[in-house]
Structure 1
């Protein structure tokens, strides 16, 4: 696992951050590291005795900079789907550049990578602290976003034409792969430009991160939908509250919303396959629970049960597989199952996906976004490139883009989170 962070060259400029108020800035250097593993076993200790343990470079301000702030131009782009906290990140970058480093040229590219291709005609915004002062009170991204790949050469041409020295890419897995391609094209041309990513995913599925920004806000909003489903289910004869939450390949939002809501009977996630039919299938377990309790709440992640729906539905503009609507699919199958048994059922289906991802970040995520933005600017002005910032074991670190984009973080059915869900819901551990 290569955790080395690329650097554009020697840092020759003194930082303006010698003092923050009356307190000396907590400068870091590249030798400050955070270990990858925080749990140990005998076999791991034996392996690490033979080689250096894997570790990540600590984020934070450096005493000397690669870029001269007075001559530096910054670009910011937000890509992919919406997520709570995007405006907080933009605001944090702009304020850190202007107020701490004295970087006065900050541009915001509009509508994702599409805004970095000149033929589309999306004129970049000039961003200043005054223009982003209230941005964190609103959901979404005021820069706009888009999905889909763009020509890397065209995007780097735009960076050259505008004299952009540092590009901040705020996006998920596909967007970070695009940032990696931009980094490689910049390197191929022999240019000295930094590309720093800030990982964004509402599904919390980016590798080597404690959590992604916006996740706490998202599952807090999801809990409200789960609560509504409980109220609806208890207000009807044999009521079934069915809630579909975001989570294409990872069921973190579904798990956390169920644990926080505490009135959930079944959680269905992509990592744990299930059957519909049969004596141990989901529908029979649902019938048994409904007979016993009179009402049931089911939370399903959008990527769960796709194998039951038969066949794919192509790909979206970003190249991701299009999934079938498992919420509507389950609604129909539940109604059909009970109709065959001549048993009354009242299914109340709730899909809060766009509400969950469009709300403003809460206070906890607001703080997290601010610290991510600060760490990203510290890294970029020190000439770090081809990397992203994230939090690992409670510390902010630098991670290579290529390492992070080679997989997805998932709920492990053998570990504590899923076991907590099973204990909370009381559902059978195996619905097959």
Structure 2
């Protein structure tokens, strides 16, 4: 089958020459432009024994030789939404430096407190972001422009941006943020206003489609690994010690799986993608009982979204972003494990650790800092070239343009037949199935 090119919305013809210098003109600052004919395939493994399927070709991200906007006459805005994540300030900084220093954009504004800052009724005026304002913000966690959850009326947000004279908006956030950005993009197209809306994918959960690694994930796994090591130390120090660590991961268990592999000291990793049982011959309690009889200690890592079917919830509350508020599987497991062993007259010492926000309010580590810079610069390139309604994806270590509609129509999950989960099973030795 013929490969399918993934189309990205364009605001119009690119009639302005890029101010970025060519390699031939300035060997000290090489900058090779990306050709419009260059694409990155989604699938790189081909099985010749099977029927070939049509492959998706994503537009390669990067600077274009001609651009849509006249940089000197363009204003840009940046907004951060959702929960905190290591690297937010890095992205803000790199966007400001790319737009102002490389392209010559005269004004870059920071929208305060997420999408709420795009509704004037809330009374949060934007911040002016100059080079000096962002010079050292990458050294601290959080976001200097603030964040929030919850949507706003796209028509209201667009009118506010038009009044500010903004032609480019960079939305830094997860799938909820990018769904809001997609609505804003659609409203701008409906009204005929040439607004470039470009998303930078952000989530410690690493669950955005067509993004092999979102920024913040690596830093979160680093911190989680250290906490698992502490839980292991605690568990080994007492008779029948159980180190129980609850990590972030509502719908996808990437943090739990990654930290488990990094630590090498986890015996059971429980993630939302796999159902598990507590009772029965193959249930967690029976398997844990056998482990303690042999080794006298164990470490369990559980993602916050795991085991929700075990918890009895009479009503389901939702947060401002529309996400269901899950029951606390960590507290539940602690209680059930303790009760099970006490009922048998056995000693049990559960050491429960819930780091929660402690793994996301950090400054980015080295790998995440590099990724943040790459994502931000390519977002600036995409917007200047008049691309809109897209996020910067990360496929096979290459930056690509992914339409927001594709990126937000589902969540990336840990594949139970994939290499990551197979690695977890190999390291932990846990059952492949609990049921």
TM-score w.r.t. the length of structure 1 is 0.97
Cα distance change on mapping 1:281 and 1:162 into 2, 3 Å: same
1:61 aligns with 2:67: no
Q: Specify the SS of the correspondent of 1:186.
A: helix
What is the Cα deviation at residue 19 of structure 1? Answer: 3.5
Among 29, 35, 40, the residue aligned to 2:46: 40
- Report the Cα distance in structure 1 between the residues aligned to 2:362 and 2:316, rounded to whole angstroms: 29
1:267 aligns with 2:300: no
Question: Counterpart of 2:383?
Answer: 380
Question: Counterpart of 1:163?
Answer: 165
Q: Specify the SS of the correspondent of 2:52.
A: helix
Q: What is the aligned length?
A: 428
Question: Counterpart of 1:154?
Answer: 156
What is the Cα deviation at residue 414 of structure 1? Answer: 1.2
Among 197, 207, 211, the residue aligned to 1:209: 211
- Report the Cα distance in structure 1 between the residues aligned to 2:12 and 2:187, rounded to whole angstroms: 17
What aligned pairs does 1:140-151 form with structure 2 within 5 A after superposition? 140-151=142-153
Question: Counterpart of 1:276?
Answer: 278
Q: CA RMSD, aligned part only? A: 1.2
Question: Counterpart of 1:336?
Answer: 339
Structure 2: runs of 5+ lacking an equivalent: none
What is the Cα deviation at residue 93 of structure 1? Answer: 0.1
- Kept after mapping to 1: 8 A contact 2:21/2:30: yes
- Report the Cα distance in structure 2 between the residues aligned to 1:405 and 1:192, rounded to whole angstroms: 23
What is the Cα deviation at residue 18 of structure 1? Answer: 2.1
Deviation digits for residues 14-61 of structure 1, max 9, x if unmatched?
11112465244210122110011111123665344xxxx320000010
Among 387, 391, 395, the residue aligned to 1:392: 395
Question: Counterpart of 1:360?
Answer: 363
Deviation digits for residues 218-258 of structure 1, max 9, x if unmatched?
10010011011001111111110000001101111101101
- Report the Cα distance in structure 2 between the residues aligned to 1:322 and 1:43, rounded to whole angstroms: 46
1:7 aligns with 2:13: no
TM-score w.r.t. the length of structure 2 is 0.96
Deviation digits for residues 100-152 of structure 1, max 9, x if unmatched?
00112000001100011001111111001110111101111111110011111
Among 169, 176, 183, the residue aligned to 1:181: 183
- Kept after mapping to 2: 8 A contact 1:2/1:403: no
Structure 1: runs of 5+ lacking an equivalent: none
Question: Counterpart of 2:74?
Answer: 72
What aligned pairs does 1:421-432 form with structure 2 within 5 A after superposition? 421-432=424-435
- Report the Cα distance in structure 2 between the residues aligned to 1:44 and 1:84, rounded to whole angstroms: 42
Q: Specify the SS of the correspondent of 1:46.
A: coil
Deviation digits for residues 344-381 of structure 1, max 9, x if unmatched?
10111101121101111001110110011100000000
Question: Counterpart of 1:404?
Answer: 407
Q: Specify the SS of the correspondent of 2:299.
A: strand
Q: Specify the SS of the correspondent of 1:55.
A: strand
Q: Specify the SS of the correspondent of 2:399.
A: strand
- Kept after mapping to 1: 8 A contact 2:221/2:259: yes
Question: Which region of structure 1 is more displaced relative to structure 2, 310-319 or 63-72?
Answer: 310-319
What is the Cα deviation at residue 200 of structure 1? Answer: 0.6
- Report the Cα distance in structure 2 between the residues aligned to 1:258 and 1:415, rounded to whole angstroms: 15
- Report the Cα distance in structure 2 between the residues aligned to 1:62 and 1:375, rounded to whole angstroms: 10
Question: Counterpart of 2:36?
Answer: 30
What is the Cα deviation at residue 313 of structure 1? Answer: 2.6
Question: Which region of structure 1 is more displaced relative to structure 2, 220-229 or 312-321?
Answer: 312-321
Deviation digits for residues 324-345 of structure 1, max 9, x if unmatched?
1111111111111111111110
What aligned pairs does 1:95-134 form with structure 2 within 5 A after superposition? 95-134=97-136
Question: Counterpart of 2:290?
Answer: 288
